Amino acid sequence: AQSVTQPDIHITVSEGASLELRCNYSYGATPYLFWYVQSPGQGLQLLLKYFSGDTLVQGIKGFEAEFKRSQSSFNLRKPSVHWSDAAEYFCAVGGNQAGTALIFGKGTTLSVSS
Amino acid sequence: GAVVSQHPSWVICKSGTSVKIECRSLDFQATTMFWYRQFPKQSLMLMATSNEGSKATYEQGVEKDKFLINHASLTLSTLTVTSAHPEDSSFYICSAKGRGAGGYFDEQFFGPGTRLTVL
């Protein structure tokens, strides 16, 4: 079955500390992987994506993610968190076919403490 | 990147009425559009997939007679919630995948969402 697991429902980090959000996936074909961020009442903003090539991808706002095929993981990282990073983060997987929808994880809520 | 708009951004309606939500691709041709629903504090759940000019394919458990989807053109898809009830209150998000001037996009682009509240 195709699925995305985000093991951490809620994470709190101190401002300036590093962050890692975990994502594991199960997908039958070559996966396209995404991380989105959503602020309360807002739509989704794409942070970064992985299609192929270099397994370490850089995104916006200082985020990066590493694709590890052997572990079926695509963890999101940021070296120094800012208070404005507090939001809901979703990992998603999809295929490259035109009609393929994304499968989302349940999300991780990030809180940033001062 | 490509832009997807949704209208309205929020709507409040009485129980039993119908509500139409529009999803438009502003600068590309959306050959496929997706409709998702998101309940508070939960993830996005795919409701249906529609290809331009074809009937929508609904996910299991989604009532096609209640959630009418029309994808009549390459830039517009509509979701009509018929006879809405309070349990239909949710955040509805569309996304679109297709082609621009440079060819087909590998990713889909999300609209900003529509908050539906049924009283």
The 10s digit of each residue's pLDDT in A34-60 is: 999 998 878 889 999 998 889 999 999
Q: Taking CB atoms and an 8 Å cutoff, what residues of chain B touch A30? A: none
Residue B106 has pLDDT above 80, yes or no: no
CA distance B89 to B96: 23
- Dihedral over Cα of B43, A28, B1, B20: its sign: negative
Residue A84 has pLDDT above 70, yes or no: yes
Residue A98 has pLDDT above 60, yes or no: no
Q: Which residue has the tokens 């074809």?
A: B54
Helix (H) or strand (E) holding A91: strand A87-94
Chain B, 88 to 107: residues with Cβ < 8 Å from chain A are 93, 95, 97-98, 104, 106-107
Average pLDDT value for residue range B2-13: 94
CA distance A49 to A60: 10
Q: What is the pLDDT of residue A2?
A: 86
Closest CA to A75 of A88, A95, A85, A89: A89
Q: How confident is the model at residue A95 (pLDDT cuts 50, 70, 90)?
A: confident
- Rounded to the nearest angstrom, the minimum Cα separation between A61 and chain B is 16
